[in-house]
Amino acid sequence: MPRSYIKLFLLLPLVLLFLSAHRPPGRGGNRPKNVILLIGDGMGLTQVTAGMYTNNNSLNLEAFPITGLMKTHSAKQLITDSAAGATAFACGCKTYNGMVGICKDKQAYPTLLEQSEKLGLATGMVTTSSITHATPAAFIAHVKDRGMMEDIATWFLKTDIDLFVGGGMRYFNNRKTDQRDLVAELIAKGYNVSDFHNSPLPNPNPQTTMPFVWFAADEEPQKVTEGRTYLPDATFMASNFLKKRSEKGFFLMVEGSQIDWGGHAQNAEYTIKEVLDFDMAIGRALEFARADGETLLIVTADHETGGMAIIQGSEMGNLEVQFVTDSHTATMVPVFAFGPGAEQFGGIIDNTDIYTKIKNLLQL
């Protein structure tokens, strides 16, 4: 056999390896085309358990085949806040509490959402806090202090995010730090913007694929116990909308923001109702993912809030709950995964691994 053929044979395994590593998404294998990252802010294992027993011993989360545990500490502190927690997911680095989309070297790093957008994937966020709050902010903004809400709002015009749903409209159109009207700027940029004043639910025009924004409140949206209902429907709507927006796939972040606020308030009913609303959103994401077949769902938390414990009750509910703090704790939080690539999320992982694994799976 001529030498050149022998060389070719030696190269063959390398070529096959290259081809398998660059297999397009959604063509078999364990790589998703779409990723939905669902973050229950402050949702530790007890919050999940309390939701389950309050809901006739049943949660949509039980359909997830893979579970893991995740460490949540930030760069210098054992007890993270939501800004550092979300920055770990979004940018893959441990950072200081309070910082948004900035790592501990004080530099801004491109987020999963920004990287997805750059590669032509569709992107979106749906939250039950203001859209400028720490968790969503870390996926699109780069500021040193999570309190800079009006600054954070300006970042929504710097990335071509396809959809966002949440509160915080006043940081866009009733600003104290400058005279900009960011709602007008979004409309000028081609967004279809509506809000709770004129539309009770986020509802993009199905005839068009214009990028879409719906504001749920001027500042923070209502609690579930006050009548807020949009999260489950918005999650399903956003998934379908983003699938239509790009053939290359999508990245969607969904946050059950107020589970954390129930913990800060040491209010069991507030916490549990928010967990159940978030679980309904998870159910709608599952409905989408089952039909789609190319979507990876990851459900986790940035940290636990309240040091919540169930000390009495039955599997049919009537739980008695105690909190040991009105702040966050360092306990590991659960991770649940469903769909192509889910098997990578078992075991004990770090919050920064969420970034690395999603980045690799979407080949960002």
Binding residues with Mg ion: total (CB under 5 A): 4
> What region does 66 belong to: left with phi over 0, alpha with psi -120 to 50, or beta?
beta
Q: Which residues ranging from 249 to 308 are in contact with Zn ion (CB under 5 A)?
A: 260
Q: What share of the chain is helix, strand, coil (3-state, %, to 5)?
A: 40, 20, 40
Nearest distance in Å: CB 327, Zn ion? 7
Contact 312, 88 (CB under 8 A): no
Query: Contact at 8 Å (CB) between 262 and 308?
Result: no
Cα 108 to chain centroid distance, Å, stands at 19
Minimum separation from the CB atom of position 83 to Mg ion (A): 9
Whether residue 108 contacts residue 142, with contact meaning beta carbons closer than 8 Å, is answered with: yes
Residue 123 phi/psi, 5° resolution? Answer: -135, 150
From 82, 116, 129, 239, the catalytic residue:
82
| Segment 277 to 336, residues that bind Mg ion, using CB under 5 A | none
Residue 82 in contact with Mg ion, rule: CB under 5 A: yes
Residue 82 designated active-site: yes
* Strands (DSSP E) found in the chain: 34-40, 66-71, 122-130, 163-167, 192-195, 212-215, 250-256, 295-300, 304-305, 309-314, 317-322, 328-329, 333-338, 347-350
Out of Mg ion, Zn ion, none, what residue 87 binds, judged by CB under 5 to 8 A for its kind, is none
In the complex with Mg ion, which residue's Cβ is closer, 43 or 121? 43
For Mg ion, which residue of 46, 111, 116, 135 counts as binding (CB under 5 A)?
Answer: 135
Number of residues that bind Zn ion (CB under 5 A): 1
CB-nearest residue to Zn ion:
260
Q: Which is nearer to Mg ion, 82 or 329 (CB)?
A: 82
CB 330 to Zn ion: min, Å: 13
Cβ contact 33:288 at 8 Å:
no
257 contact choice in Zn ion, Mg ion, none (CB below 5 to 8 Å, kind-dependent): Mg ion
CB of 311 to Mg ion, least distance (A): 27
**Pair of tokens at residue 274:** 């928010």
Q: Site residues for Mg ion, window 220-279 (CB under 5 A)?
A: 257
Query: Which partner from the list Mg ion, Zn ion, none does 151 bind, CB cut-off 5 to 8 Å by kind?
Result: none
Q: Catalytic residue numbers?
A: 82
List residues near Zn ion by CB under 5 A. Answer: 260
List residues near Mg ion by CB under 5 A. Answer: 41, 82, 135, 257
